[in-house]
Amino acid sequence: MGVSRIIRSDEFIVNTPFAFSQYFNDFSYFSEIVRGTLTDMFLIYGQPVLDIGMLFRPFLIGYLFLNQGQGLSFFWISRLVFLLLISFEFGMLLTNKNKTLSLAYAILITFSPLVQWWFAINGLVEQLIMGQLGVLLINWYMTVSNYKKRLLIGFGLMICVGTFLLVFYPTWQIPLAYVFVLLAFWIFLKNKPTFTYSKKDIPIFLMYLLILTIIMIHIFTKSIDAINITLNTIYPGSEIYNGGGTLNSFTNYIPTIFFPLDYANLLKNTCDYSVFVDLFPIPLIISFIILFYQKTKDKLLIGLLILYIIFVIFYLIQLPDFIIQLTLRSKMKSFRLFPIITFVGVLILIRSMSNLENIKNKKLIIIFSLILSILMVYLSTFEFNDYYLSWMPIFAIIFYFILFTTSFLASSKRNQKIFLISVIALSFLTGGLVNPIDHGTDVVYESPFNKEVEKIVESDPDALWITETLPIDYIIPVGAKTVNSVNTYPDLEKWEKLDVNNQYSDIYNRYAHIIIDIQNTNDTSFELLFPDRFTVHINVNDLEKLNITYIATDHNLEKFTNNNISFKEIYRINNYKIYNISYSSVKSSP
């Protein structure tokens, strides 16, 4: 049910094939299936492995004892359920146990455009789960005196911290860490007057800190080479970010109700435009009403507003080098930082609505909300003018008018319920329709082509493959050691065999999807297509340098046979073929 999303190639070309390939690697920490050489499978692009570090990859554990389809299902569904439930509990903390607004918050987070368009990769869901859960556990620890419970809570906190640290995606990790550290500090101040502690707390803290440290040392010791290579890549390792954001981004949430429609991907990269629907500028307006008109002293709201302003400054303004280095701003991509601004906006919105007192002049609110909804939709057309169909702006105005109005009038239980119903409808459109529901893994394991690849792998397990024109990671789920499968970090030694003068090192020294173009007219060269994609125009005589034995392609390669190399077609289905390569200096593989 639903529509497949070609823009989500990081899921169906990278994350899922990587996970499936681990079944042919005995879930080893390092794999030769990906990249055709030893590759860190745990840290750089977190995959299931049989290692103590899996304590901090809880949603991947299903792969270790279930089949591929069940493991994938566990990975997707468990994260959705946990995010929804933990967001609701966090909403209860945020709203002083207002169940209606807590449910609205949970739905706004779980089915936000950002979460649903990025659901399976980059650890966004894990960061949101563990960040919110960590704050909840700190609150629980400080409000219970039973040390058996505190011991259990301490274990949970260790899992939260370890999982958050191992996401290894700093562009979201760092700003989210700002948010959750602020929230944890608020919890500490909130509970400090009644918090009781004794000498028993010290061994709990030290024990879990020691366990966390030992496991982290173990992981980073095993992954140190991959970390060093990644940090020294052209992309993403050496990039520095500073300002560059635009004011147009603040209306990005407006058209997200239309993003899941089929044609959306043809006009915009929906992933890069996805945010949390924070209803800007409503959170700022309501929070100012609470702080300056109602004169409510809310430390959390003040802290969130300060953080919001800091993030906006980070996003829009170029700052001196020492500031961006000190604050780690240099590691946050600007267009990835903005969605975290909208996350803070949602926190401000829900917190403000829970503290809002009755506003008497309801007619003024209705008129203001209507004008504001028209204005925000109009402003969004500057970025999305080519995207909107004729009826879309009118629908958006009506939809956001209802949300704006009920936000301002949230002191009423009735309006809170209308707001919740509107949020459910909103989230169904913005997030609920994004990911299709699929059943089974037949598309991979019942494919005649992949069955043939699997037979060849069984008889010749050490052979190296490349794919040409096929999806580059199509055959790694059956164990084929594929040189040009997505290189999550570069195999410099391999590419330097083709580039002895390091002429193209800036092209291949990166995280990359690698396209192979076999030709016999020019020397081997590299062409950068996108920051994360390049083509190797490889001369057939250089295939021996990479020790390639098999090629999966839909091209006719026999025409390239010469005195040095020969191509033998050993399998064909429709236009797709498998070639066995033999070299004049090397005996052909069986």
Instruction: For tokens 């302003």, name the residue.
Output: 309
- Mean pLDDT for the chain? 93
Same domain assignment for residues 199 and 66: yes
pLDDT per position as a tens digit, 492-513: 999 999 999 999 999 999 999 9
Q: Find out whether 544 and 564 touch, Cβ atoms under 8 Å.
A: yes
Same domain assignment for residues 417 and 482: no
Same domain assignment for residues 126 and 200: yes
Q: What residue ranges in 189-314 does DSSP mark as E strands?
A: none
Read off the pLDDT band of 586 (50, 70, 90).
low
- Using CA atoms, how far apart are residues 464 and 536, in angstroms rounded to an integer? 17
Name the least confident of 7-21, 151-165, 255-269, 526-540. Answer: 255-269
The answer to the question of residue 43 being in a domain is: no
The answer to the question of residue 63 being in a domain is: yes
pLDDT per position as a tens digit, 9-21: 889 889 999 999 9
Read off the pLDDT band of 199 (50, 70, 90).
very high
Same domain assignment for residues 450 and 427: no
Read off the pLDDT band of 269 (50, 70, 90).
confident
Same domain assignment for residues 207 and 344: yes
Same domain assignment for residues 365 and 493: no
Task: Tell me what the mean pLDDT of segment 4-33 comes to.
Answer: 93
Residue type, 486: V
The answer to the question of residue 34 being in a domain is: no
DSSP string, 430-466: IIITTSPP---SHHHHS-HHHHHHHHHHHHSTT-EEE
Q: Is the pLDDT of residue 476 over 60?
A: yes
| Number of domains, the chain | 2
Same domain assignment for residues 425 and 456: no
Q: List beta partners, residue 34.
A: 482
What pLDDT is stored for residue 45 in this prediction? Answer: 87
Task: Tell me what the mean pLDDT of segment 251-277 comes to.
Answer: 82
Same domain assignment for residues 195 and 121: yes
The answer to the question of residue 164 being in a domain is: yes
Q: Answer with the one of 375, 405, 432 that is the final residue of a domain.
A: 432
Task: Tell me what the mean pLDDT of segment 175-200 comes to.
Answer: 95
What pLDDT is stored for residue 267 in this prediction? Answer: 59
What pLDDT is stored for residue 236 in this prediction? Answer: 87
Read off the pLDDT band of 303 (50, 70, 90).
very high
Q: Is the pLDDT of residue 88 over 80?
A: yes
The answer to the question of residue 210 being in a domain is: yes
User: What DSSP state is assigned to residue 33?
Assistant: S
Q: Answer with the one of 403, 432, 461 that is the final residue of a domain.
A: 432
What pLDDT is stored for residue 263 in this prediction? Answer: 57
Q: Is the pLDDT of residue 192 over 80?
A: yes
Helix (H, G, I), strand (E, B) or coil at 482: strand
The answer to the question of residue 208 being in a domain is: yes
Q: Answer with the one of 382, 398, 432 that is the final residue of a domain.
A: 432
User: Which distant-in-sequence residues (6+ apart) come within 8 Å of 478 by Cβ?
Assistant: 24, 444, 445, 450, 451, 453, 454, 457
Q: Is the pLDDT of residue 62 over 80?
A: yes
Query: Which pairs with CB-CB distance under 8 Å and at least 24 residues apart come from 314-321?
Result: 314/243, 315/243, 315/245, 315/249, 315/341, 316/243, 316/245, 316/246, 316/247, 317/243, 318/242, 318/243, 318/244, 319/242, 319/243
Q: Is the pLDDT of residue 286 over 80?
A: yes
pLDDT per position as a tens digit, 414-448: 999 999 999 999 999 999 999 988 889 998 999 99
What pLDDT is stored for residue 288 in this prediction? Answer: 95
- Using CA atoms, how far apart are residues 271 and 279, in angstroms rounded to an integer? 19
User: What DSSP state is assigned to residue 570?
Assistant: E
Same domain assignment for residues 413 and 538: no
What pLDDT is stored for residue 389 in this prediction? Answer: 74
pTM of the model: 0.94
The answer to the question of residue 558 being in a domain is: yes
What pLDDT is stored for residue 590 in this prediction? Answer: 44
Number of Cα atoms under 13 Å in the Cβ half of residue 329: 24
What pLDDT is stored for residue 33 in this prediction? Answer: 97
Same domain assignment for residues 488 and 415: no
Q: What is the number of residues in the chain?
A: 590
**Residue 531 structural domain:** 446-583
What pLDDT is stored for residue 7 in this prediction? Answer: 85
Mode of pairing for the β-strands spanning 548-553 and 464-468 = parallel
What pLDDT is stored for residue 526 in this prediction? Answer: 97
Same domain assignment for residues 177 and 219: yes
What pLDDT is stored for residue 588 in this prediction? Answer: 45
What pLDDT is stored for residue 77 in this prediction? Answer: 96
The answer to the question of residue 196 being in a domain is: yes
Between residues 562 and 589, the one the model is more confident about: 562
Q: List beta partners, residue 42.
A: none
pLDDT per position as a tens digit, 379-396: 998 888 777 777 888 999
Q: Is the pLDDT of residue 589 over 50?
A: no
Same domain assignment for residues 285 and 355: yes
Task: Tell me what the mean pLDDT of segment 467-493 comes to.
Answer: 91
Three-state SS for 90-120 is HHHHHCCCCHHHHHHHHHHHHCCHHHHHCCC
What pLDDT is stored for residue 514 in this prediction? Answer: 95
